[in-house]
Amino acid sequence: MVAAMTKKVLVTEKLADEGLAILRDKGLEVDVKLDMAPEELIAEIAPYDALIVRSATKVTRDVIEAAANLRIIGRAGVGIDNVDVEAATERGIIVCNAPTSNIVSAAEQTLCLMLACARKTPQAVASMKEGRWERSKFTGTELYEKTLAIFGLGRVGGLVAERARAFGMNLIGYDPYCSPERAEQLGVELYDNVDDIVPLADFITVHLPKTKETIGMFGPAQYAAMKDGVILVNTARGGIYNIESLADFVAAGKIGGAAIDVYETEPCTESPLHEFDNVILTPHLGASTKEAQTRAGTQIAEYVAAGLEGSIVPTAVNMALVPPEIMDAVGPYVPACQLMGSMLAQIDGDIPQYLKLTAAGSLAGADPSILVAGTMGGILSYKNVAVTPVNAEAVAKRHGIKVETQSRPDAQGYASAVSIVADGTEISCTLADTAQVPRIVSLFGYQIDIAPASQSLIFEYVDAPGKIGTIGTILGSAGINITTMQVGMKEKEKNALVYMNVEGAVDDSTMDRLREGLGELKNLWYVKL
C-alpha cells in the first residue's frame, strides 16, 4: 500500500503560534511565507492543499485557477472580501472563516473610540505631551442618557448594544434582518429606514457588511439630517461613510467628531479627514488584540484541518462541503429551490416568518437541509445574505423565520417534487428531462406546468372570455413578446391563474394598463429571475 502524501498548508500572513501548532500536531506540513506579492502567490500555490490568509492577501480568481490541489481556503478573521468565493465554489474549494474570533475586540474598540471621541482624549494627550495644560479646551460629553443609533445588529452590533446599555445609553437601531424579538432582547428600538433614525442620534456606529447597498450609505443627505454635534464611529468596513462629504460636514461644525478604524483602501496614510483634530483615525485595530489573534488562529486551524479530513466545516461560506451522498440525492433541486425562493421574495415582498418545505417522491427521506438553504438563499438573495447548509439554521433564527420540513412519498404524478409554503404562499416544482430544468407545477394551489424564464408575468383574476386576448393586445402594443404561457384553474372557483413568460422590459405604465384593462384582477406580479 502506498502511504498517503502529507497534506500541505500555506500560511501567507501572521498566524498565532497556537494555530500553527494545531495544524502541525495533526500531521500537516505547514509553510509560512509572509508578504508575498500576487505573482509570487500564483507561482507558489499549486502544490498546496490549504491556504490560510488574513485580510491583506488577495485570493483572486487567478490564484484559485493556479491552485491545482487546493481544497480549502481559511480566512483567519471575519470578512471574506479578499477571497473570490464564486471562483472557489466553481472549483469545489471550501471557503471558511472565523466569524466569532474578533467580535469582542471589535465591540470593545467601538466603545473605546466612542469614549475617546466624546472626551477628546487623544487631543488632550497630544496637548499634554507638548507641555500644555488646557483643561477648558477639552470639555467633553457623557454617554449617559445619550441616544446611540446602531446600524447592524449582528454579532458585533449586538455586543456593542449590550455594552452601551451598561453606560445608560438609549439604544435605537436599523437592521432589516434583525427580528423584533432579538432587538427587544438587546434593548434596542428598531426603525424601518435610515431616514427616520438618523435625526434622533447623538452617536452613530455602523456594523454592516460591505455590499453595494452599504457602501456610501451615509452621504450628504444623511449628514445634513443628523443632530448638530453628532459623533460617528466606524469599526466595520471602509466606505460606509462617504469620507469626502463627511469631511465637509466636520469642517462646517455640523458633525462634532468622528472615529474611523477602517478605510476603503488600506493602508490609508492620507485622506480628507487627516486634517481635523476632532477626528480620530486608527490603523484598522478592531481585531488587534492578543486574544482575538489567538482565537482567529486556533479557530481557523481547526476548521482547515477538518476540511482536509473531509469533515463538516461549520463556518463554510459556500456549499462545497455538502457530503456527496446528499448532493447526489437532492443537489439538482438546489437551483430550483433558489428559483422558488426568489419568486416568493418578489411575490410577497417581505421575509416570511414561517417556511415549510416538503420533499416528495424519490426525495422523501433525504436530508432536506441543502434544500432549505437553497430556498432561503433565494428568499434573501436581494438582501445580499449568503445562506449555506451549515448556516441556514442560524440565518433563519436571526431573521425570525420558523422553518419546518417534511417528506411525502406521493409526488402527485411526478418522480420527485419540492413544495414550499411561505406564510401561506405555496409554490411547487419538479425537474424535467435529462437537463433537469426546474418546472413550476403548482402556484397558490393552481395546477400548472411551466419552466420559468428570466422574466414572467403572473395574473390572478376572475375568469371570463377575452382576458387572454386583452393581455396579448396590451403587451403587443408595448413591444413585449409572450414566449410561453400556462393557465391554471381551481375546482369550484371562478378564478384563473395565468403564468406567462415574456421577452422585453415590462415598465410601470404597461403594468398599469394591464391592471386597468383586466377588470376583476385580483393580483398581478412581474417576476425577474
pLDDT tens for each residue of 15-46: 999 999 999 999 999 999 999 999 999 999 99
**Whole-angstrom distance, CA of residue 63 vs CA of residue 56:** 14
CA 370 to chain CA mean position, Å: 18
Q: In angstroms, what CA-CA distances link 102 with 114, 141, 285, 287?
A: 18, 29, 11, 5
> 8-100+291-309: which CATH architecture?
3-Layer(aba) Sandwich (3.40)
201 backbone dihedrals φ, ψ, rounded to 5°: -95, 140
Please provide the CATH number assigned to the domain covering 453-529: 3.30.70.260
Map out the domains of the chain as residue ranges: 8-100+291-309, 103-281, 322-443, 453-529
pTM of the model: 0.59
Please tell me what DSSP assigns to residue 36: -
Tell me what pLDDT residue 337 has: 92
With beta carbons less than 8 A apart as the criterion, state whether 13 and 54 touch: yes
Compute, in degrees rounded to 10, the torsion defined by CA atoms 155, 160, 166, 170: -110
Tell me what pLDDT residue 2 has: 37
Give kind and range of the element (H or E) at residue 131.
Answer: none
Tell me what pLDDT residue 493 has: 81
**Which residues lie across from 316 on neighbouring strands?**
96
Three-class DSSP category at 382? helix
60 backbone dihedrals φ, ψ, rounded to 5°: -85, 175
**Whole-angstrom distance, CA of residue 443 vs CA of residue 496:** 11
Tell me what pLDDT residue 489 has: 87
106, three cell numbers: 471589535
Tell me what pLDDT residue 325 has: 58
Q: In the block, which residue shows the cell 456527496? A: 324
With beta carbons less than 8 A apart as the criterion, state whether 467 and 474 touch: no
Classified by CATH at the fold level, domain 322-443 comes out as: 60s Ribosomal Protein L30; Chain: A; (3.30.1330)
Other beta carbons within 10 Å of 397: 14
Tell me what pLDDT residue 323 has: 55
Angle at 417 between CA 416 and CA 418, to 5 degrees: 140
With beta carbons less than 8 A apart as the criterion, state whether 171 and 150 touch: yes
Tell me what pLDDT residue 387 has: 66
- Omega before 465 within 30 of 0, i.e. cis: no
What residues are annotated to the active site?
Answer: 237, 266, 284
**Whole-angstrom distance, CA of residue 182 vs CA of residue 299:** 26
pLDDT tens for each residue of 177-186: 899 999 999 9
Kindly give the parts of the chain with pLDDT less than 50: 1-3, 320-321
With beta carbons less than 8 A apart as the criterion, state whether 8 and 50 touch: yes
Instruction: Say if 8-100+291-309 and 103-281 have the same CATH topology.
Output: yes
Classified by CATH at the fold level, domain 103-281 comes out as: Rossmann fold (3.40.50)
Tell me what pLDDT residue 380 has: 87
Other beta carbons within 10 Å of 239: 18
Closest CA to 246 of 236, 235, 257: 257
Closest CA to 259 of 119, 105, 102: 119
